């Protein structure tokens, strides 16, 4: 890593618009394209502080700041356009979280990197609507929260309650949500409103290790821990009435359910296996990278292809996982209100993936290109009329779900044409951490957090008390800042704001 004094580092950074900064070539060695990141004045301060801290003398082998990580990604072989940092960016393993980059599939040098997807493959957010309003739910909020907590297995060491054997897992990995549909856990309409229709066709479970299967089997249909959650939310503000109506959101106060989860131990193991394989492949193919953590392999190599197939299987696992929890949430509501989920109109509004690599077509300098788009902590946000979005959203643009953290708001955005041109149709994914977990635990008091939540009228059920501090709103960047930056920069458009009334967490 190049270490320069802070003021020299700043010479490589330039503010292009009030919401966009450019990282010039030379900031890190071998940069093939420029980097860019989106911030407002407040987030900008966080970004630059992080860089400044890393420039202090005597820093050895600490964590790389987000800006440096964006620049290192810009040095990877086969990258096109720009290495892009979204407003919620924070330092991660290899790629920063909130970093997206696309690689030219037709360039034999191009690479695929498990670090550009993350350990939690196809981590994502799903939003269900109901025809209930806040006044219907308020009197039974505590019971409903408890019922959701009882239905959905959460936290470390929990096991799924949907019966599964090794054969079922095999089929689920190949079929994704089609498996859930066949087994009766999902509705046919759910698939329509899910990226890729809830099934990656290139999934090949024979490329998945036995270890990954063994870790995955007991965990299917579990929420997980960390930042994953299931929330009962109410519509707080509607910015675009027409688009909201298309999503079945009629009025302020309408109750929705948001589920944030991923591929659990299965995906973690697939990523781990791939990283170990690629370490070796990098030496063989002489791929040079700035940071050893950016393990990668050529897209056309065996390792690259195996990873893409295994990753797709993990993506299918995640969709089956979210579908299973959707089933459980529907059951919890149905039992509470003694109505069927159908009567409660509990349709999936949309399901987004924010840790994934996909093959997509984009225009670069007017030419159509086949790209492998890595989105790590970044959500796809396709504009109106794009062929890959469901017919219901053809006019509005793809719904983008931005989950908040415990007690903060969540947002629904829609994709824009400008986003398609600037960021390969990608936008932010959530709040993004501002404090480390350790720092949160030292500085934030358990009772204060609970007190604050109860003042806001939010019921909470958490499996691990430590998480209360680690996941408190103070530990995160302000999600409103993040979403507003995306809106102002034009890469996505605000549609609906949701406020939580009950939080279920690991």
Partner 1 sequence: MSDIKEEDWNLPPCKYECEIRPKCYCIISYGLVTNFKMSLFVLDLDHTADIQIHAWGDTLTEAFEQCANAMFHYMTEVDYIEMRESYDIEVEGHDMVTLLYNFLDELLFIFSAEPNYIARKVKIEEFDTTAFKIKAKGFGEEFQLGKHPQGTEVKAITFANMQIHENEGKCEVFVILDI
Instruction: Match 């290899």 to its residue by tokens.
Output: 94
- Minimum gap (Å) between residue 477 Cβ and partner 1: 10
Cα separation values, 146 from 149, 305, 412, Å = 5, 44, 26
- Minimum gap (Å) between residue 405 Cβ and partner 1: 13
Report the residue from 38, 93, 229, 411 that binds partner 1 according to the rule CB under 8 A. 93
Report the residue from 437, 474, 480, 488 that binds partner 1 according to the rule CB under 8 A. 437
Report the residue from 25, 42, 107, 218 that binds partner 1 according to the rule CB under 8 A. 218
Size of residue set near partner 1 by CB under 8 A: 50
In the complex with partner 1, the residue whose CB is nearer, 156 or 359, is 156
> Considering the rule CB under 8 A, would residue 225 count as an interface residue with partner 1?
yes
> Considering the rule CB under 8 A, would residue 315 count as an interface residue with partner 1?
no
> Considering the rule CB under 8 A, would residue 61 count as an interface residue with partner 1?
yes
Helix (H) or strand (E) holding 99: strand 97-104
- Minimum gap (Å) between residue 268 Cβ and partner 1: 4
For residue 492, how far is the Cα from the chain centroid?
Answer: 16
Instruction: Match 């279920």 to its residue by tokens.
Output: 504
> Considering the rule CB under 8 A, would residue 62 count as an interface residue with partner 1?
yes
> Considering the rule CB under 8 A, would residue 292 count as an interface residue with partner 1?
yes
For 401-469, give the secondary structure using H, E and C. EECCCCCCCEEEEEECHHHHHHHCCEECCCCCECCCHHHHHHHCCHHHHHHHHHHCCCEEEECCHHHHH
Q: Is 431 annotated as a binding residue?
A: yes
Interface segment toward partner 1; rule CB under 8 A; list 131-139, 190-198, 210-218, 412-420: 210-218
Count Cβ neighbours within 10 Å for each residue of 135-147 and write b for 16 or more, e otherwise: eebeeebeebbbb
Annotated catalytic residue, options 193, 268, 374, 429: 429
- Minimum gap (Å) between residue 403 Cβ and partner 1: 16
In the complex with partner 1, the residue whose CB is nearer, 5 or 18, is 5
Q: Is 429 tagged catalytic?
A: yes
> Considering the rule CB under 8 A, would residue 92 count as an interface residue with partner 1?
yes
> Considering the rule CB under 8 A, would residue 3 count as an interface residue with partner 1?
no
Q: Pick the closest to residue 12 from 38, 50, 51 (CA basis).
A: 51
Cα 94 to Cα 393: distance, rounded to the nearest angstrom: 35
Cα 169 to Cα 175: distance, rounded to the nearest angstrom: 10
DSSP 152: S
- Minimum gap (Å) between residue 63 Cβ and partner 1: 5
- Assign 252 to helix, strand or coil: coil
Cα separation values, 128 from 124, 349, 451, 472, Å = 14, 5, 28, 24
Q: Is 267 annotated as a binding residue?
A: no
Active-site positions? 429
Q: Which spans of this chain sit near partner 1 (rule: CB under 8 A)?
A: 53, 56, 59-63, 90-93, 97, 119-120, 155-158, 211, 214-215, 217-219, 224-226, 265, 268-269, 271-272, 275, 292-293, 433-439, 441-442, 463-464, 466-467, 470, 506
Binding residues for GMP: 227-231, 354-355, 403-406, 410, 429-432, 505
């Amino acid at each position: 890593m190049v270490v320069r004094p802070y003021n020299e580092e700043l010479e490589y950074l330039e503010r292009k618009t009030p919401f966009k900064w450019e990282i010039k070539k030379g900031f890190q060695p071998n940069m093939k394209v420029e980097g860019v990141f989106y911030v407002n004045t407040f987030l900008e301060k966080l970004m630059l502080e992080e860089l400044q801290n890393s420039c202090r003398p005597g820093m050895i082998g600490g964590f790389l700041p987000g800006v440096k990580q964006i620049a290192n990604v810009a040095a990877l072989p086969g990258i096109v356009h720009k290495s892009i940092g979204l407003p919620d960016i924070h330092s991660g393993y290899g790629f920063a979280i909130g970093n997206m980059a696309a690689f030219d599939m037709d360039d034999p040098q191009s690479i695929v990197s498990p670090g550009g997807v993350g350990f939690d493959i196809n981590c994502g957010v799903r939003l269900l609507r109901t025809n209930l309003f806040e006044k219907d739910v308020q009197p039974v909020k505590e019971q409903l929260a408890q019922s959701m907590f009882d239905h959905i297995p959460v936290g470390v060491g929990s096991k799924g309650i949907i019966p599964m054997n090794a054969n079922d897992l095999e089929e689920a990995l190949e079929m994704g949500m089609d498996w859930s549909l066949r087994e009766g856990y999902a509705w046919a309409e759910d698939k329509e409103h899910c990226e890729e229709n809830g099934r990656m066709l290139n999934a090949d479970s024979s490329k998945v290790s036995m270890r990954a299967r063994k870790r995955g089997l007991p965990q299917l249909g579990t929420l997980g821990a960390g930042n994953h959650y299931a929330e009962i939310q109410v519509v707080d503000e509607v910015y675009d009435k027409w688009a909201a109506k298309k999503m079945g959101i009629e009025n302020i106060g309408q109750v929705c359910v948001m589920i944030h989860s991923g591929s659990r131990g299965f995906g973690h193991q697939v990523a781990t296996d791939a990283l170990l394989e690629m370490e070796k492949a990098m030496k063989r193919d002489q791929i040079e990278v700035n940071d050893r953590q950016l393990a990668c392999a050529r897209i056309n190599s065996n390792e690259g292809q195996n990873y893409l197939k295994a990753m797709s299987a993990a993506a299918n696992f995640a969709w089956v996982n979210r579908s299973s929890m959707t089933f459980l949430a529907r059951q919890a509501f149905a039992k509470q209100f003694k109505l069927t989920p159908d009567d409660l109109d509990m349709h999936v509004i949309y399901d987004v993936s924010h840790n994934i690599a996909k093959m997509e077509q984009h225009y670069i300098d007017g030419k159509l290109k086949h790209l492998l788009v890595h989105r790590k902590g970044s959500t796809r946000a396709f504009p109106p009329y794009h062929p890959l979005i469901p017919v219901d959203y053809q006019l509005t643009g793809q719904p983008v779900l931005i989950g908040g953290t415990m007690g903060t708001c969540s947002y629904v955005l829609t994709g824009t044409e400008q986003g398609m041109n600037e960021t390969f149709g990608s936008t932010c994914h959530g709040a993004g951490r501002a404090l480390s977990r350790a720092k949160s635990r030292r500085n934030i008091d358990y009772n204060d957090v609970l007190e604050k939540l109860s003042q806001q009228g939010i019921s909470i059920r958490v499996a691990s008390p430590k998480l209360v501090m680690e996941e408190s709103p103070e530990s995160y960047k302000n999600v409103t800042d993040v979403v507003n930056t995306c809106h102002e920069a034009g890469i996505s458009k605000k549609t609906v704001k949701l406020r939580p009334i009950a939080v279920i967490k690991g």
